[in-house]
Structure 1
Amino acid sequence: MISGEKKYIWQQDDWPRWVYDLKRLLPLLSQVHLAQGHLLGRMHDVGMELRDEATLRVLSMDVLKTSEIEGEKLNLESVRSSIARRLGLDIGALAPADRHVDGVVDMVLDATQRHADILTAERLFGWHAALFPTGYSGLARIRVGAWRDDSQGPMQVVSGPVQRRRVHYEAPPAAMLDAKLFEFLRWFNAPHDEDPVITAGIAHLWFVTIHPFDDGNGRIARAVGDMALAGADHCVQRYYSVSAQLLRERKDYYDWLERTQKGTLDVTDWLEWFLGCLLRAVQGAESTLSAVLAKAGFWSRWAGVSMNERQIKLLNKLLDGFDGKLTSSKWAAIAKCSQDTALRDISDLLAKGVLVKSAASGRSTSYELTT
């Protein structure tokens, strides 16, 4: 344990008696609730099928981005397929199962779909085991489904090469974990007088400050925060992704965590930043809804046009935000067909007016949806 000065927040005598200036946060809280209410109201009006589509998009982003924050990139198709399997949604052909992807999906869905259930140590252990199904983080073997034991030294968040390593944070010693997690879980599961969005911000900070696992603490902290937000929305369907917004603001996210973890128990500044980030996430979800509505409008417009499975699959990829330009070679690769078959598919859609040649094709001809 660190001796001498009290460098970290958990060394404060009153930790974890959090304090914050509610009066200062109220204007931002009002904006967050107004934006949440507006988004939920719009989603209520679009029908179950479109709500499912929006939820699939948002949950896919949540799983992708909470991993990407930690520098790990998952495959979008594998994530979408894993979520669709678990929610019973028909999205056509499914990608093969990937147990690592499935583990992150299981954690995110358990946190949001079962937000009303009590959060226990056993449940957290299950999330952790799902994140690390092989028992390894990269090449390092870690304790899975159990609190860390600090056998390799104190838990530190570090960056930089070994010779110039910078310690951003050192977590409480392993000997304190049982007591500190018991205290956290008792608070998290108890009825709260405070605004549930405030609860989400404090829960996120509190859990990642305890840092109870060898690895995966950030992802689990974000899942805990999402669990609180799902409870605040009283809704198992998710229409905005905090993790996606945190990735956009990753440097600020880490800076604010480090600053707060080295500060006092007054967490007003952290909550102000967290609420701002949440507000931007909710406001950004309007683009998700617009994309869902545009996709529905597209298929309504072309409902009477016959298409084969390959054409439907590729058109849905374009509607979901195709990366780069669609060429006949990409069509053949994605649809797993020959170049000749891809050209026939494309020519058919050109003749029907569904696709047009892109004006900015460059060397190779590319195609886009008719506007």
Structure 2
Amino acid sequence: MYIYQDTNWPDFTWNDKSLLILLSKARNLQGKLIGKMEAIGFSLREEAMLETLTIDIVKSNEIEGKLLNSDQVRSSIAKRLGMEISGLLPSDRDVEGVVEMMLDATQNYEQPLTKERLCNWHAALFPTGRSGIHKITVADWRKEKNGPMQVVSGPMGKEKVHYQAPPAELVDNQMNRFSDWFNYENNMEPVLKSG
């Protein structure tokens, strides 16, 4: 059974009290770190932000099996944020798209999450309209021309299905429901909401 097939989907519950105790400890440590960052000065804060964004982008893509050149990522971020650093490198279009998407998500986090914004991110990630050698639908919800979307591994003929996405005809409604919740549910602690 996949999560979207659960009878409680998407209205899950959890124990706020136990999570909030752990979260308050993390927030306390976060506050101490922010205080230390304020004390070190602008150039070091800027450098720390550049390093953190670079690591976030590189590691997030590694999870997806995509290896990005960290020096190109760093250079692209620095250029887009107007930071003066030595050794700027030209960046691949894949790197530029990932950096553009991540900076929009992290720098413009107060902007509403809309279909247009998600589609713009998707277009930035797949500027050629292809994922590897496969032509894909870019900047729109997926269609099921070739059957359901699946995450698979293994050799041809012996593939293992790890996940099967909800049917394409449900995506528009589910995404509208999600973006409404994301944009308008303000009573939830942001870290819990991100989970």
Interval containing the TM-score (normalised by the shorter chain):
over 0.9
Query: CA contact under 8 A between 2:148 and 2:165: conserved in structure 1?
Result: yes
Which of 139, 142, 149 does residue 148 from structure 1 map onto?
142
Q: Which residue in 1 is equivalent to 2:132?
A: 138
Is 2:48 the counterpart of 1:62? no
What are the equivalent positions in structure 2 for 1:1-371 lying under 5 Å apart?
7-201=1-195
Deviant stretches of 4+, over 6 Å: none
Query: CA contact under 8 A between 2:57 and 2:102: conserved in structure 1?
Result: yes
- Note the C-alpha offset of 1:35: 2.1
Q: What is the total number of aligned residue pairs between the two structures?
A: 195
Q: TM-score, normalised by structure 1?
A: 0.51
User: The residue matched to 1:163 in structure 2 has which SS?
Assistant: coil
Q: TM-score, normalised by structure 2?
A: 0.95
Query: CA contact under 8 A between 2:58 and 2:67: conserved in structure 1?
Result: yes
Structure 2 distance, partners of 1:143, 1:109, is 23
Structure 1 distance, partners of 2:156, 2:21, is 45
State which structure, 1 or 2, has the greater radius of gyration over its C-alpha atoms. 1
Q: Which amino acid aligns with 1:85?
A: K
Q: Deviations over 1:39-64 (max 9, x none)?
A: 11111111111110001101111111
Structure 2 distance, partners of 1:160, 1:28, is 39
Q: Deviations over 1:308-350 (max 9, x none)?
A: xxxxxxxxxxxxxxxxxxxxxxxxxxxxxxxxxxxxxxxxxxx
Structure 2 distance, partners of 1:150, 1:70, is 22
Structure 1 distance, partners of 2:20, 2:99, is 34
Structure 1 distance, partners of 2:177, 2:143, is 19
Structure 1 distance, partners of 2:17, 2:170, is 34
Q: Which amino acid aligns with 2:123?
A: A
- Note the C-alpha offset of 1:112: 0.6
Structure 2 distance, partners of 1:70, 1:151, is 24
Q: Which amino acid aligns with 2:165?
A: A
The unaligned stretches of length 5 or more in structure 1 are: 1-6, 202-371
Structure ranking higher on relative contact order (CA contacts 8 Å, 6+ apart) = 1
Q: Deviations over 1:278-322 (max 9, x none)?
A: xxxxxxxxxxxxxxxxxxxxxxxxxxxxxxxxxxxxxxxxxxxxx
Q: Deviations over 1:157-214 (max 9, x none)?
A: 222223332212211100001100000000000142121110011xxxxxxxxxxxxx
The unaligned stretches of length 5 or more in structure 2 are: none
Structure 2 distance, partners of 1:89, 1:154, is 44
Q: Percent identical across equivalent pairs?
A: 51
Structure 2 distance, partners of 1:139, 1:69, is 20
User: The residue matched to 2:65 in structure 1 has which SS?
Assistant: coil
Q: Give the aligned CA root-mean-square deviation in angstroms.
A: 1.3
Structure 2 distance, partners of 1:97, 1:22, is 44
Q: 1:103 to 1:50 in 2, by over 3 A?
A: same
